[in-house]
Amino acid sequence: MKIEWTEPARLDLKSIRDYIRRDSEYYANRLVERIIEAVESLEKFPEVGRSVPEAEEENIRELLFYNYRIMYRVETERILILTIIHGARDLSQKKPKPWDVV
């Protein structure tokens, strides 16, 4: 399967890097590298993540990575990375939902 990143997911990754970079450029870059590695593992194991409880759709899944939720949609030919959010954020108040955008 092919992995594709949505623009919101790319912006999320950049925001995470920029936030952590304020304290340490090394750790910011390292975390981003590890997030990308986790996402790339989905090529072989797209069902490894759990279903997103808020989404109520089986094909909307997430990897839990440290304090982050990497949300993605499993499609026939691709895995679409939807968003990367901190686990402490209240997703119920977020409009629009990450899985509604694309």
DSSP the chain: -EEEE-HHHHHHHHHHHHHHHTT-HHHHHHHHHHHHHHHHGGGT-TT-SEEPTTT--TTEEEEEETTEEEEEEE-SSEEEEEEEEETTS-GGG-SS-HHHH-
Q: Is 69 inside a domain boundary?
A: yes
Full domain range(s) for residue 40: 2-87
Cα 13 to Cα 58: distance, rounded to the nearest angstrom: 24
Q: Is 20 inside a domain boundary?
A: yes
Amino acid 64: pLDDT: 93
**pTM of the predicted protein model:** 0.88
Q: What is the pLDDT of residues 42-64, one digit of tens each?
A: 999 888 899 988 888 888 999 99
Q: What is the mean pLDDT of the chain?
A: 89
Q: Is 99 inside a domain boundary?
A: no
Domain count, the chain: 1
Q: Is 19 inside a domain boundary?
A: yes
Q: Is 71 inside a domain boundary?
A: yes
CATH of the domain at 60: 3.30.2310.20
